């Protein structure tokens, strides 16, 4: 899978170099590229502006995002705009994304973005009914949930088939095989 991330803060994505996602990258199952769209700004690295007609906050300008998007080598990507007003992310959506060959995440910031950015987008997705300072944490969450579903990423293919969401309950009792740990003994194991 190839993932491109358009962001103002590529340094925030260092956690994707570790754990399961990092191992998927090492195995060659995943290629992640970061694109700082500030580098595509025409005016002194200026990426935001006041909304036309007034209003609170600053909006991301469309031009740097369009130019960064155009610079990405791509075939037929699924383009995801991280937006608190979008459809809520869930496990079924992660499973759907895991079938894709190319994903592009556009991470917003500030009060919002120029609506013309939506012409690039196939999906507008939210993590839930709250507001983050930007789309970076949402993108990392979605990438982590999706990448673990790609074949060969997790050692046993059946591992994610036992995920709590698929078992219809969230609190499954998990106990290591060792019977007693620091005076704690497993009553069910005796």
129 marked among binding-site residues: yes
The question of whether 111 is a catalytic residue gets the answer yes
DSSP 98-113: TT-SEEEEEE-BTTEE
Q: Binding residue per annotation — 82?
A: no
61 is catalytic: no
Point out the catalytic residue in the list 49, 111, 114, 124.
111
Q: Is 59 annotated as a binding residue?
A: no
Task: Exactly one of 48, 77, 136, 148 is catalytic; name it.
Answer: 148
Residues 6+ apart with CB under 8 A from 50: 58, 59
101 burial level (CB within 10 Å; 0-12, 13-18, 19+)? exposed
Report the alpha-carbon distance of residue 164 to residue 145 in Å, rounded: 13
Q: Measure the CA–CA gap between 46 and 50, rounded to whole angstroms.
A: 12
> Is the Cα torsion angle 20, 23, 27, 33 positive or negative in sign?
positive
Catalytic residue among 67, 84, 114, 124: 84
Is 25 annotated in the active site? no
Q: Is 128 annotated as a binding residue?
A: yes
**Has 163 been annotated as catalytic?**
yes
Cα dihedral sign, 148-97-133-5: positive
Is 120 assigned to a binding site? no
DSSP 8-state class, residue 38: G
* 130 annotated as a binding-site residue: yes
Residue positions forming the annotated binding site for S-adenosyl-L-methionine: 108, 127-132
Active-site amino acid positions: 84, 111, 148, 163
Residue positions forming the annotated binding site: 108, 127-132
């Amino acid at each position: 899978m190839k993932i491109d991330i358009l962001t103002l803060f590529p340094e925030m994505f260092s956690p994707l170099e570790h754990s399961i996602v990092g191992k998927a990258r090492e195995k060659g199952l995943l290629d992640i590229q970061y694109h700082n769209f500030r580098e595509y700004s025409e005016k002194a690295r200026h990426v935001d502006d006041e909304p036309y007609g007034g209003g609170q906050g600053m909006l991301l300008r469309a031009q740097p995002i369009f130019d960064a998007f155009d610079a990405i080598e791509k075939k037929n990507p699924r383009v995801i705009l991280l937006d608190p007003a979008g459809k809520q992310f869930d496990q079924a959506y992660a499973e759907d994304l895991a079938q894709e060959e190319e994903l592009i995440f556009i991470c917003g910031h500030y009060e919002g973005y120029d609506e013309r950015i939506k012409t690039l987008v196939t999906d507008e997705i939210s993590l839930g009914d709250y507001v983050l300072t930007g789309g970076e944490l949402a993108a990392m969450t979605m990438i982590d949930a999706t990448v673990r579903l790609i074949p060969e990423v997790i050692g046993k293919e059946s591992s994610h088939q036992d995920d709590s969401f698929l078992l219809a309950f969230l609190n499954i009792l998990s106990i290591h095989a060792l019977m007693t740990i620091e005076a704690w003994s497993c009553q069910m194991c005796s």
